[in-house]
Structure 1
Amino acid sequence: MNNPDEIFQNAIVAHRSGDLDTAGRLYRQVLAAAPENSGALRNLATLLASNGSMDEAVDLYRKALLQIPNDLAVLTNLGLILQQQGNNDEAGTLYNRALEIDPNQANVRIAVADMHLMAGEANVAADHYRHAIEIGASESRIHANYAAALLALDNIEKALGEALTAVKIDKQNADAWNILGRIQLENGDIEQAVPSFQAAIQLRPDWYAPRLDLGVALQRSGNLSDAILTFENARKLNPDDLETGKALAAAQIALGQSDAADMVLDQLEKIHPNDGELLFHRAISRRANGNLEESVRLFRLAIAKGLNAPEAYNNLAVSLFDLNKLDEACVAAKKALEIDPDFSSAYNTLGNWASETGDLEGARDWYLKASDIDPEFAAAISNAAYVTRLQGHLSESIKLYKKALDVDPQLAEAWSGLGLTYQQDNRFSEALAAFDKGLESQPDNWELLNNKAISYQATGHIDESLATYKSALDSKPDNPEIYYNLGNLLLSLKRVDESIAMFNTALRLRPNYNAVFSYLAHALMQQCNWLNLEAAIERIVQNIAEEVKSGQIISTSPFSMLSLPVPAEYRLLSSKQLAAQTAQELEHQRKSIKFQYKPKGKKLKIGYVSPDFRQHSLGLTFLDLLMAHDHEEFEFYGYGIFSNDPDLVTDQFRRVFDHFRDLTPCSHEDAARVINEDGINVLIDLAGYTKGSRLQIFSLLPAPVQVHYLGYGHSLGADFIPWLITDHDVIPDDIAAHCSEQLVYLPDSFLATSHHEISKEEVFRSDYGLPEEAFVLANFNGLYKIDPKAFGVWMRFLRRTPDAVLWLQHGTQGAEQNILKEAQARGVTPDRIIFTKHIPHTSHLARLRLADIALDAYYHSGGVTTTDAIWAGLPILTVAGPTPSAQTGVSVLKAARLPELITYSLDEYERRLHHLSDNRNELVAIRDKMISTRDDVPLFDSARLARHLEQGYKMMWDQYEAGIPPEGFDIPALP
């Protein structure tokens, strides 16, 4: 069989039957005999292309075109191969020749459209897809690609229709579902976009693109947890993808997971070391953590690495603004506008700048410019309304707030501003309606709740106002001892009369022995011997003033000053002097050791140092806090420095700490070495200037971050402990100005508490000598905390209220006798004062219910005794006295959501006591409230306190790790 035509026909038969080897051999025989046989050239090229032999196929197609230049199949097939090989120019030429021959070749139109779509030429691609569909192309893929081209052209409506058609034709087309989700996401229809992306993922589980888009959709919907999980799954499929990593880090930052975000950014920076956008995200993270200086540095570094974007400059401006660097912020925001004159966020930032500098009219113009560019920028409109209100244009302000709320009905700041404007206009009903509307979407918004309570109060709705204030506080609560002599020893042994004799003897032998006076005062208070107390206190203040004036060391210890009416600047100076003395003791060791610090490992290592990890009020309450700590994310070390033998409570601490060291027998230097070798990142002193403390250890700087918390609670004046954890009530602003530390403010009370067991035994007043029908006042603090001023209030109350008695904790015989003498001197008979002995704690808590109200003293409020009363449901009335020790009650009651029991002067204190006695149903209501809410208030939420402290530790560590000097901050409140 030598006839080429006959061989060609047999080749076609073999080709059609799938015998490709035979067909290929026969085609080659034909071409050997007739090299210009166009059919054999074309068919063999097609066969070779199907087998992947593209180069030979291209060669044969080219030869075929010399014979049949207008053959549509050759033109199209050669174009497809060349397009796959990246030769788009020649492929395009071939496609155009084919379309000149027959404009209605759908497959050619589709090939041309695909090529232009891949090249980013969406307009050309869209025309060809449209034409192909018009002439009959109906595959799902064609409609999906057409939708993609239309989306690129911002023709959302048309694109949505094509995508819906694509999925209708083939519900198994993952590409169609993905493009549909992208269109829905672009159109703001997130609820529809999410299932579309999920369908694409289900059809193609190994495709990372829809996972990235799904994560974006979830992030925009506020579902950050699921968004993070989705991004993480996408990264498993494409670990080095830059955009997925950035999206994951952004979501983690938004959810407060800065450490996790840093890990992602670290990984990406190894692959993309010069990507400024990674630094941009890290800067956002630092700002979210309150580390503004570091965020500024990182924004600037991102810009230096080429991120010449308006977002970078505007975010730099925002951080500078928050740092009160207003001129620099203005320059950065204007730089953003140089890059993009229509960048609305920069105009909003300039509005903030103008408002802060007092240019309200300019601020309004900037805000309105932002909303002109972006009519959907509700926050800018609300900001314009705010400055308009400050200008006194209430009607215009109301209009602007309503305009902002038309754009974003859930914008809490706009509802709050609208309500405040109504308030300012004396339109309280409308104000309440505005606040309520905002609370529909954000029921825990403290600002809305606070403003609502103000409106209630203004309209006489007192109960509603109190309840609303409580709700607001639930959401966001707003918040100085070492002498050595025989007298001091006797005092510590509670041999108070003997100690007083010793102090008096010392002063008789040396009248200017200033150090004695504070101990004498304390001893007099222990014995409730008030005859010479006021003179002793006056002498202490006089001595301190003279010592300061002459540049001497203050003889009164910082601890003693805490409960004395001494100017705050004297307390700080005394603390600084004592701290300097402490550091000086080990200055040589500190200089010679120069500890090196280990880097942070997987967990942040936290060390607590205390003499009170034992049967002690601080130890018992701190134990609950320690158990509530997150031992998965942090590693906790306990360092005991005992002055008494460890006990059963110490054994509990050994079990709860991840590691426990008894440093009692160690020298200061050896103790510091143990801590340093443990690699502690954050070291916390829990004793301050209280008994048993060893600040010398801290003066050696064994850890990079050193903090004081809880045990002393006020400024130590120590350079080696630059941080102090407190709350805004224990150290208000006027006291903060006299603290050497950078203050870390907890959002609730600084005090740790415990859920102590309350005995279920039935208790009766007769068991404790209390009259059954009496109105019982109680104070279970040590008698030394009672002062003449508070006692005077109590005695006046007893004289006015015949059925009332005062129930006090047992003291020394001399103290009890002095109390009764003072009562008689104030017209109250001894039978009206009843002393009670110490009993087991569970029984003590049970007997608290026998009292009607507990009372704090003026100079020294209770701590654990106060929390005991609240836990047992006993209302306790406090007064914010003139000393630091008098502020604890305010802090505790605020954290217990009991502001109605806080007073701010003795007059108010006395009036409030009489009011509650005259309206005893209020006390019953308060008691019921305390019992019903005690499990929910921050005061007894050890887990909440633990989370706040942990966040504070991380924020302090972040500052250290970034090389930033300690800078105080408020720990963000948990919801």
Structure 2
Amino acid sequence: MKPARAKPGACAGLLQRAAALLATGQTAEAAQLLAQAVQQFPAEPEPWLRLGNLLAGASHWERAERCYAARCRLKPPAAPAFYNWGVSLSELGRHAEAVAAYQRALALRPADAPTHHALALAQAALRDFPAALAALDQALALAPAEFAYRIEHARTRVRMGQWAAALDELALLPEQPVVLNLRGIVLRQLQRPAEALACYDRALDLQPGLTEALNNRGNLRLVQRQFSAALQDLDQALARQPEGDWLPGLRLYAAMHLYQWDGFDDQLTRVRQGVEQGRRVIQPLALQCLVDDPALQQQAARIWAQHSFPAQPQAALPSPPPGERLRLAYLSRDFRSHPVAFLMAEVIELHDRSRFEVMALSYGPAPADPMQQRLREAFDRFIEVEALSDAQVAEAARALGVDVLVDLTGLTDGARTGILAWRPAPVQMLYLGTLGTAGSQVFDYLLADATTVPSETRAAYDEAIACLPSYQPNDRQRPRPPARPGRAALGLPVQGFVFCCFNNPCKITPSQFATWAAILRAVPESVLWLLDEDPQAAAQLRRHAESAGLAPQRLVLAPRMPREAYLAALAEADLFLDTLPYNAGTTASDALWMGLPVLTLPGQGFQSRVAASLLRAVGLPELIARDEADYVCRAVQFATDAGLRAAVQQTLAAREHSALFDTPSITRHLEAAYLHAHQRRLAGEAPADFSVSGGQG
């Protein structure tokens, strides 16, 4: 039998009854009638649209999307239906399909500003910021006074890294919290932190619960080393938004700077679980300070990379003419008095100019300090790209014909790793700035050595490994102050053994401090010399010492000092105690340079094996412990065995002749790595692991 034919007007009747029910708040009953209508009259467009709207209003986006899709398959085509379909697709994270739906809506109704705005949001979600900016231009041409479009236009410029243009646009907008927060972001990127803080302060005066401004101010205060104030901001932000992106990890990282370890294990467990579940709970650098787990660090890096710098459309890269020098570019924000520059300065000067043209792509501040002046003179070209967007920097590098680009900043604060996503060079390498994987294919190679990336952890790195004979370079022109200040001038006891650790406080975990307490208890009259950066931190640390059975005076706290004073002070200590899971890097080299032995316990991750690499390179493998008990035993033995100390000092007396401070050899090894990677590319071969032998040059 054929199904009964619906009576004329039956569909309209159902729609009228549904509308009446909605008018009286009987939503569930209205939904039932609309569901009946689409079942009985599937070729009628209006029931699908109304049911979709009802479901969307209740945030039932999957069911709403199916209704809108069904409506859009019917005739006549209607712009509102395609617009609503796009909204539902956007809510479901199907942004490419949403873009197509919005474009269909605009083909039917091109002068609709809200649709242009919605299209821009979907394109921005796909990180197609140029297209988003063009769509917002259309929206503003139709509705030039609409605040939502103007703020989104400025926000898109921020996301493109067009800082100066964004600041100009924001200056024309009314002083609202969202505007002030964006101004703070831009001013921070323009190296104007005091003005950025003032913007966040004003935004929070106007809207005290603005979580984004609290997060941003806390983050900036953390970078400015205002740790107590940073923690207050992050605590407030986390209370308002417990699942906020990166907030749980950032809050724990800030607390580490203050030695606030209450609930440490529970917080760390939640962070670990979040990373394992693929959530945005912690930035990779912060996690490296907390756990020694290369696979977990790789997962955190991948989450960060996918969010922060997914690969972009690639431009064609021309092949270089044969016989020309390799064009080598170093990318960094830290070509100034900074640990990376302290390591790399002499390498830049020693590069073989007959084989390499060496350029700097600098997006950091331009202070009038001696290190930046030295580097400006060392590079063949020093190109300031701070004012350019990520895509523009990549375009500039391609125009320069860069063959190999080495990123020295990695995932550290202020990094613009998004530049690498635009493929500025055919070979892209990661070195020094991040001690581990970037979790992304935008880097072809990670420069390492056999100690930092042993074979058993190789799978935790997404890049090909360029394995050097020794990992870390050093500048032999770093100062070695001949005059020692004397212990009394530094607040140290004149007699007794001085253990020290000048690593950042965030590297000192509760378990690390417990290990140090065991050492101090075993060596009477010894002290532990640490950095002092915050009164609250100092008070917390002394409370931890008392809880561990130590008199508070067994801890001596040192303020940060100018570089030469800090190097001279290192010579007053007897043994540098390294941290796990995040080792000393430049600080360990500084200690060894000043003749101060370093004791380390290597872990599994790259960041936990750097000091072991340095000690092997300087000829002191006996200062590499096997486990925690051995670390304590070696520290105690070193403090109590004058013969052992004399033997170590004899090795350190010849340190300038060791592999660690053989900067010409390290430079040749780096050059061999760059040339090998470049030649693989010219041969059409994909990046692959390789080793540079000690004799290459």
TM range (shorter): 0.5 to 0.7
Shift of 1:753: 4.3
Quote the offset at 1:554 in angstroms: 3.6
1:764-799 deviation digits (Å, cap 9, x = unpaired) = 222122222211111112222222222212222222
**Which residues in structure 2 correspond to 1:796-811 (within 5 Å)?**
796-811=518-533
Whether 1:506 aligns to 2:228 is: no
Question: Secondary structure of 1:737's match?
Answer: helix
CA contact (8 A) 1:856 1:878 kept: yes
For the Cα contact (< 8 Å) 1:556–1:574, is it kept in 2?
yes
- Closer, same or farther in 2 for the Cα pair 1:685/1:600, shift >3 Å? farther
Structure 1 segment 697-708 matched on structure 2, within 5 A: 697-708=419-430
Tell me the secondary structure at the aligned position of residue 446 of structure 2.
strand
Secondary structure at the residue paired with 1:850?
A: coil
Map 1:671-682; keep pairs closer than 5 Å.
Answer: 671-682=393-404
Instruction: Give the alignment's TM-score, normalised by structure 2.
Output: 0.66
Task: State the identity %.
Answer: 27
1:492 matched residue in structure 2: 223
Q: Alpha carbons of 1:582 and 1:847: their partners in 2 closer, same or farther (altered >3 Å)? A: closer
For residue 913 of structure 1, report the CA deviation from its aligned partner: 1.1
Task: Give the equivalent residue in structure 2 for 1:957.
Answer: 678
Please, which of 570, 575, 581 is the counterpart of residue 296 of structure 2? 570
The answer to whether residue 663 in structure 2 is matched with residue 937 in structure 1 is: no
Are 2:261 and 1:523 aligned? no
Report deviation, 1:866.
Answer: 0.6
Alpha-carbon shift at residue 527 of structure 1 (Å): 0.4
* DSSP-derived class of the 1:508 partner: helix
Residue type matched to 1:571 in 2?
Answer: Q
Residues 1:909 and 2:635 aligned together: no
Q: Distance in 2 between matches of 1:753 and 1:733?
A: 29
Paired position in structure 1 for 2:466: 744
The letter for the 2-side match of 1:841 is R
Distance in 1 between the 2:256 and 2:296 partners?
22
> Aligned AA for 2:675?
K
SS, match of residue 291 in structure 2 = coil
Candidates 516, 537, 542, aligned match of 1:815: 537
Cα deviation for residue 645 of structure 1 reads 4.7
Contact kept? 1:725, 1:750, Cα under 8 Å: no
- What's 2:380 paired with? 658
Higher RCO, 1 vs 2 (CA within 8 Å, ≥6 residues apart): 2
* Residue equivalent to 1:331: none
State how 1:318-397 maps to structure 2 within 5 Å.
none
Residue of structure 2 aligned with 1:532, choices 255, 258, 263: 263
Runs of 5+ unmatched residues, structure 2 = 1-213
On the 8 A contact 2:468/2:691 being kept in 1, the answer is yes
CA distance in 2, matches of 1:638, 1:644: 13
The verdict on how the C-alpha distance between 1:762 and 1:750 changes in structure 2, with shifts beyond 3 A counting, is closer
- Work out which of the residue numbers 835, 850, 861 in structure 1 matches 2:583: 861
CA distance in 2, matches of 1:937, 1:758: 17
- Could you state the TM-score of these two structures normalised by the residue count of structure 1? 0.48
- 1: CA distance, partners of 2:449 / 2:285: 19
> Aligned residue for 2:669?
948
Counterpart contact for 1:849–1:873, Cα < 8 Å:
yes
1:612 shift after superposition? 0.5
Q: CA deviation at 1:847?
A: 2.6
Distance in 2 (CA, whole Å) between partners of 1:538 and 1:918 is 39
The Cα offsets for residues 724-761 of structure 1, whole Å up to 9 and x where unpaired, read as 11112222223321111110001112344444222222
SS in 2 for 1:579: helix
1:556 paired with 2:282, answer yes
Give the Cα separation in 2 of the matches to 1:626 and 1:602.
Answer: 19
Tell me, yes or no, if the aligned pair for 2:328 and 2:356 is still in contact at 8 Å.
Answer: yes
Q: Distance in 2 between matches of 1:806 and 1:763?
A: 18
- 2: CA distance between counterparts of 1:598 and 1:646? 36
Answer yes or no: is the 8 Å Cα contact 1:597–1:704 preserved in 2: no
Q: Counterpart of 1:642 in structure 2: which amino acid? A: G
Q: CA RMSD in A?
A: 2.1
Structure 1 window deviating more from structure 2 (499-508 vs 896-905): it is 499-508
For residues 768 and 799 of structure 1, the distance between their equivalents in structure 2, rounded to whole angstroms, comes to: 23
Shift of 1:523: 0.9
Which residue of 2 is the match for residue 974 of structure 1? 695
- Deviations 1:389-417, CA, capped at 9 Å, x for gaps: xxxxxxxxxxxxxxxxxxxxxxxxxxxxx
Letter of the 1:862 partner, please give it: A
User: Is 1:898 aligned to residue 620 of structure 2?
Assistant: yes
Further displaced range: 672-681 or 557-566 = 557-566
- Specify the SS of the correspondent of 1:614: coil
Q: From the superposition, tell whether residues 751 and 729 of structure 1 become closer, same or farther in structure 2 (CA, over 3 Å).
A: farther
- Alpha-carbon separation, structure 2, partners of 1:514 and 1:752: 37
> How far 1:601 sits from its partner (Å)?
4.0
Shift of 1:668: 1.8
Equivalent residue in structure 2 for 1:541, among 244, 254, 272: 272
Opposite residue 936 of structure 1, the aligned amino acid is: H
Which amino acid is 1:864 matched to? T
SS at 2:656 equivalent: coil
CA distance in 2, matches of 1:484, 1:958: 45
Q: Does structure 1 residue 876 correspond to structure 2 residue 598?
A: yes
The structure with the largest helix share of the pair is 1
**What is the rounded CA distance, in whole Å, between the counterparts of 1:691 and 1:557 in structure 2?**
10
- Paired residues for 1:393-432 under 5 Å: none
- Deviation digits for residues 412-463 of structure 1, max 9, x if unmatched? xxxxxxxxxxxxxxxxxxxxxxxxxxxxxxxxxxxxxxxxxxxxxxxxxxxx
Cα gap change, 1:725 to 1:512, in 2 (>3 Å): same
- The aligned residue for residue 237 of structure 1 is none
Matched letter for residue 259 of structure 2 = C
Q: Check whether the contact 2:436–2:605 (CA below 8 A) recurs between aligned residues.
A: no
Q: Assess if the C-alpha contact under 8 Å between 2:600 and 2:623 holds in 1.
A: yes
Mapped to 2, the partners of 1:600 and 1:794 lie a distance apart of 58
C-alpha contact 1:597 1:703 (8 A) present in aligned 2: no
Tell me if structure 2 keeps the 8 A contact 1:782–1:811.
no
Find the counterpart in structure 2 of residue 826 from structure 1.
548
Work out the CA distance in 1 between the residues paired with 2:597 and 2:362. 36
User: Does structure 1 conserve the Cα–Cα contact (< 8 Å) formed by 2:347 and 2:473?
Assistant: no
> Equivalents in 1 of 2:562, 2:239: separation in Å?
42
Distance 2:435 2:294 in 1: 14
Kindly tell me the number of residue pairs found equivalent between the two proteins: 483
Structure 2 counterparts to residues 746-761 of structure 1, below 5 A: 746-761=468-483
**Deviations 1:195-232 (CA, angstroms, capped at 9, x unpaired):** xxxxxxxxxxxxxxxxxxxxxxxxxxxxxxxxxxxxxx
Q: For residue 498 of structure 2, what is the amino acid of its counterpart?
A: V
